[in-house]
Chain A
Amino acid sequence: MFDSEMIALVAQAFGESIFMTVASSIMAYVIGLPMGFILVASEEGGIAPMPMVNKILGAVVNFFRSIPFLILLVAIMPFTQAIVGTVIGAKAATVVLVVAAAPFVARMVETSLKEVDRGVIEAAESMGATPFEIMRKVLLPEAMPSLLLGSSIVTTTILAYSAMAGFCGGGGLGAIAINYGYYRGDRVIMWVMVVLIVLIVAVLQSAGIYISKKKDKRL
């Protein structure tokens, strides 16, 4: 059952899962982080109030957030095809994961930034800081522990999505679980995959908590 061929397969799938998770997380943050900042800054009473921008962006985020992942995966196939030239494999899954996770990241970031005390922002305003300076030098560093904690939730969510993508030819540990565990009825393989995924989640989460605690100067 666990011959060298199988081990190589699992190792490759493991690598694919990590690649999908890390790559999609990074890209989801590249898109979602600025969106989170814009959501916070543009709201009424924010540092750069833009009600229209806030409403539209909020609606877009909510729209994508409410589409179930598997349906999104199928629905954006033409988009995926156009971006990476294929709709199967880890690369294609990454595209879908980014589209699904970016709005999630935007909301996570928004929540973290809103935890920053309004008074501190006001103090910065009273010193003549621009909205951009407030975002970069007040909101970002002050919210950093919370953002880091959020990022461990985001990556574990993406990992969970990536396993789902495995059902639809997305590769990774999820694909092995479905091909060997489900179609061939090999329960051992399936549970090995489950344990591997749980391990990755545990590592990501404790790393997030550890770094966040370490960074936080509020004691």
Chain B
Amino acid sequence: MEQNQTIISLKGITKTFSTRNGTVEALKGIDLDIKRGEIFGIIGLSGAGKSTLVRCINLLERPDGGSVVINDTDLMSLSASGLREKRREIGMIFQQFHLLMQKTALENVCFPMEIAKVPKADAKKRAEELLEMVGLADRMYSYPAQLSGGQKQRVAIARALAMSPQVLLCDEATSALDPNTTKGVLELLKEINRKMGITVIIITHEMKVIREICHRVAIISDGAIAELGKVEEVFRAPKTDAGRALVFHEGDSREGYDGPMERCYRIVFDESNSNEPLLGSMMIECGAPVNILAANTRSIEGKVYGQMLIQLPKDAALREKMIANLRAKDILVEEVDHV
């Protein structure tokens, strides 16, 4: 399938909620093009507008302004029944699974096909195949209450795939799962993307989810897209405060230092140069030491990146020299005013 073809095009999406305590501008003009066959991540802090955005894609939430075009169809212009028809091309899974509690796994997977008036026998056959694919061949007649979180999400995935959608929307699909189960579910999504060519949109507040499976990522902050690009590029050198907040200050990667600091710089290097003693050779070449405040490495899509926070000497000329030296070694250097 053509990788660069746009399947979903969002233009100028705005959404304001009015509540008793005033209005909340949840989305402030979102432009986004999703390519056919990619796994696209949308990351942001809680309340950033991620769920609202993903719900605008299948019009569970109707934007106040802007357009949603999927496969050249403008969803906003569709009639109610036209929209229902179109929604079958878009599968969706949720953090809390949202399975029918009074129905078995098999009946849950049959449900969208029942809605679409697929003959019962055909539906059952396809549901069995799907449950087999997600690894639940032996739990077809179990009720959701008898399944673990990971198994419930697998049923939900099978259900979302029942109508052979072209797009799968995942709203915090792994946020209620433990790390091991998360890994399994992400592997499954990756496989679905690869084998069926389904475009997957992943909403999450967890970096590791994006790092694990996404090709491109958008960072959403306060109802607007702060950064967008290939995962490795965005995570390697986030350009905005929102991006930095997410990438370098997330849970386990916290450097154990925070506070204001003068002449403080972040350097980021990748595999190709992380094996050399770059900082050491720079200090020797410039004849002066630097203060290392923090350092860590992380792997993004199989590539290893390292980053350090360093404090450079007071001498401005020496500082310039050091920066130039590092940049010549293909290392990204940027000044940060706080750590």
Tell yes or no: B116 within 8 A of A by CB. Answer: yes
Considering only residues 70-123 of chain B, those with a C-beta below 8 Å from chain A are 81, 83-88, 90-92, 94, 96, 98-103, 111-112, 114-116
The CA-CA distance from A127 to B109 in the complex, in Å, is 11
* Closest chain A CB from B91 CB (angstroms): 8
The CA-CA distance from A219 to B81 in the complex, in Å, is 37
B residues within 8 A CB of A186?
none
The CA-CA distance from A125 to B91 in the complex, in Å, is 11
Q: Which residue of B lies closest to A121 (CB)?
A: B98
* Closest chain A CB from B15 CB (angstroms): 15
- Given the known interface contacts A141-B103, A218-B145, A219-B145, the answer about A127 and B98 at a Cβ–Cβ threshold of 8 Å is no
Q: Which of B88, B92, B102 contacts A144 (CB 8 A)?
A: B102
Docked-complex contact B101 and A138, CB < 8 angstroms: no
Docked-complex contact A217 and B60, CB < 8 angstroms: no
Docked-complex contact A128 and B143, CB < 8 angstroms: no
Docked-complex contact A125 and B101, CB < 8 angstroms: no
B residues within 8 A CB of A142?
100-102
Q: Which of B101, B102, B145, B163 contacts A127 (CB 8 A)?
A: B163
Docked-complex contact A122 and B88, CB < 8 angstroms: no
Of the candidates A120, A127, A128, the one having the most CB atoms from chain B within 10 angstroms of its own CB is: A127
Q: Which of B92, B100, B116 contacts A120 (CB 8 A)?
A: B100
Docked-complex contact B145 and A217, CB < 8 angstroms: yes
Tell yes or no: A137 within 8 A of B by CB. Answer: yes
* Closest chain B CB from A36 CB (angstroms): 18
- Given the known interface contacts A127-B163, A129-B84, the answer about A216 and B102 at a Cβ–Cβ threshold of 8 Å is yes
A residues within 8 A CB of B99?
120, 123
Q: Which residue of A lies closest to B143 (CB)?
A: A217
Q: Which of A125, A141, A215 contacts B100 (CB 8 A)?
A: A141
Docked-complex contact A123 and B101, CB < 8 angstroms: no
* Closest chain A CB from B50 CB (angstroms): 16
Tell yes or no: A44 within 8 A of B by CB. Answer: no
Tell yes or no: B164 within 8 A of A by CB. Answer: no
Docked-complex contact B58 and A126, CB < 8 angstroms: yes
Docked-complex contact B111 and A137, CB < 8 angstroms: yes
Docked-complex contact B90 and A126, CB < 8 angstroms: yes
Docked-complex contact B115 and A123, CB < 8 angstroms: no
B residues within 8 A CB of A138?
100
Docked-complex contact B102 and A123, CB < 8 angstroms: no
A residues within 8 A CB of B145?
217-219
Q: Which applies to chain A's interface (DSSP): helix, strand, loop or mixed?
A: helix
B residues within 8 A CB of A217?
101-103, 143-145
Tell yes or no: A124 within 8 A of B by CB. Answer: yes
Considering only residues 155-184 of chain A, those with a C-beta below 8 Å from chain B are none
Residues 119-149 of chain B, each 1 if its beta carbon lies under 8 Å from chain A, else 0: 0000000000000000000000001111000
Interface residues on A, range: 20 to 34
The CA-CA distance from A129 to B80 in the complex, in Å, is 11
The CA-CA distance from A124 to B111 in the complex, in Å, is 9
Docked-complex contact B100 and A128, CB < 8 angstroms: no
The CA-CA distance from A137 to B108 in the complex, in Å, is 11
The CA-CA distance from A58 to B37 in the complex, in Å, is 49
A residues within 8 A CB of B91?
126
B residues within 8 A CB of A68?
none
Docked-complex contact B88 and A123, CB < 8 angstroms: no
* Closest chain B CB from A126 CB (angstroms): 4
Q: Which of A119, A126, A130, A141 contacts B96 (CB 8 A)?
A: A119
* Closest chain A CB from B117 CB (angstroms): 10
The CA-CA distance from A192 to B130 in the complex, in Å, is 61
- Given the known interface contacts A120-B100, A217-B145, the answer about A127 and B87 at a Cβ–Cβ threshold of 8 Å is yes
The CA-CA distance from A129 to B156 in the complex, in Å, is 16
A residues within 8 A CB of B111?
124, 127, 137
Q: Which residue of A lies closest to B113 (CB)?
A: A127
Q: Which residue of A lies closest to B101 (CB)?
A: A218
Docked-complex contact B98 and A117, CB < 8 angstroms: yes
Q: Which residue of A lies closest to B116 (CB)?
A: A128
- Given the known interface contacts A137-B111, A141-B100, A142-B102, the answer about A123 and B85 at a Cβ–Cβ threshold of 8 Å is no
Ordered by A's residue number, 15 sampled pairs between the chains whose C-beta atoms are within 8 Å are: A117-B96, A122-B60, A122-B94, A122-B98, A123-B98, A123-B99, A124-B111, A126-B60, A129-B84, A130-B84, A137-B111, A142-B101, A145-B102, A218-B102, A219-B145
Name B residues whose Cβ lies closer than 8 Å to a Cβ of A.
58, 60, 81, 83-88, 90-92, 94, 96, 98-103, 111-112, 114-116, 143-146, 156, 163
Nearest 6 Cβ contacts at the A-B interface? A128-B84, A123-B98, A119-B98, A217-B143, A128-B87, A127-B112
Beyond A128-B112, A218-B143, 19 extra complex contacts between A and B, CB < 8 Å: A117-B98, A120-B98, A123-B98, A124-B115, A126-B60, A128-B84, A129-B84, A129-B115, A130-B84, A141-B102, A142-B100, A142-B102, A145-B102, A216-B102, A217-B145, A218-B101, A219-B143, A219-B145, A219-B146
